[in-house]
Amino acid sequence: MKQPLPLWSRCGLAACLAVALWAPAQAQTFRWASQGDPQTMDPHSQNESMTNMMNGQVYETLIKRDRQLNFVPALATEWAQTGPLTWRFKLRPGVKFHDGSPFSAEDVVFSVNRGKELTSQINVYANAVGTPVALDPLTVEFRMDKVNPVFLQHLGSLWMMNKAWAEKHKVLKPLDFKNKEESHASFNTNGTGPFILVSR
């Protein structure tokens, strides 16, 4: 049976946590190692836990779940179901990819359509959210041909890529991992997430 920490230990731990929470955020290098290895950095090629954990530090989705498993804003600030088969999302203004390019509705359209490719292992999610349409630079509408009661769950599994970066590096489609294909996106990234991949 575990013994509770003495009062002085608990107070010391609480004080350390308080100091850590008050410390200003600073950019620092984060080196990560594991018994496994991400299979690829292409966010639409694989749907494997280690790969998703790594890509989730670099790329972001429109929405995510909080600790209570509620959907909360990520790259989208608000959303609403505007009809039985349509959802509309407002995107967070001022977001930039790691190379400085602005994030826009066109990147959402590109990312979802890229996820629908046959070489993508997330195409079941991308196909389930319907057709994305950019209404303006910060508004996207999803139009479906049938009701999807878990639409938000599917959308929360789709990482957003930069269309211009994908065009520049000729990675418009996810790599064919099954046939051991590699591309620029296998080892390089350009996301909006909290970490920038320096080397893999």
For residue 2, the model assigns a pLDDT of 47
Q: In CATH, what number does 40-187 get? A: 3.90.76.10
At 5, the pLDDT band (50, 70, 90 cuts) reads very low
Cα-based distances in Å from 181 to 26, 44, 113, 138: 37, 14, 20, 34
Tens-digit pLDDT profile for residues 57-75: 999 999 999 999 999 999 9
pLDDT over threshold 80, residue 8: no
Average pLDDT over every residue of 36-60: 88
For residue 93, the model assigns a pLDDT of 98
C-alpha distance across the termini of the chain, in Å: 43
At 169, the pLDDT band (50, 70, 90 cuts) reads very high
At 180, the pLDDT band (50, 70, 90 cuts) reads confident
pLDDT over threshold 90, residue 102: yes
Q: Which residue would you say has higher pLDDT here, 6 or 191?
A: 191
Listed range (69-73, 174-178, 189-193) with the worst mean pLDDT? 174-178
Average pLDDT over every residue of 168-195: 92
- What is the chain's mean pLDDT, rounded? 88
Between CA 152 and CA 154 the distance in angstroms is 5
pLDDT over threshold 70, residue 145: yes
Where are the extended beta strands (E) located within the chain?
Answer: 63-65, 71-73, 76-83, 86-91, 131-136, 139-143
pLDDT over threshold 70, residue 118: yes
Phi-psi region of 29 (alpha: psi -120 to 50; beta: other; left: phi over 0): beta
What is the pTM (predicted TM-score) of this model? 0.83
Q: How many CA atoms lie within 13 A of 134 on its CB side?
A: 14
For residue 72, the model assigns a pLDDT of 98
Average pLDDT over every residue of 9-19: 43
pLDDT over threshold 80, residue 19: no
At 14, the pLDDT band (50, 70, 90 cuts) reads very low
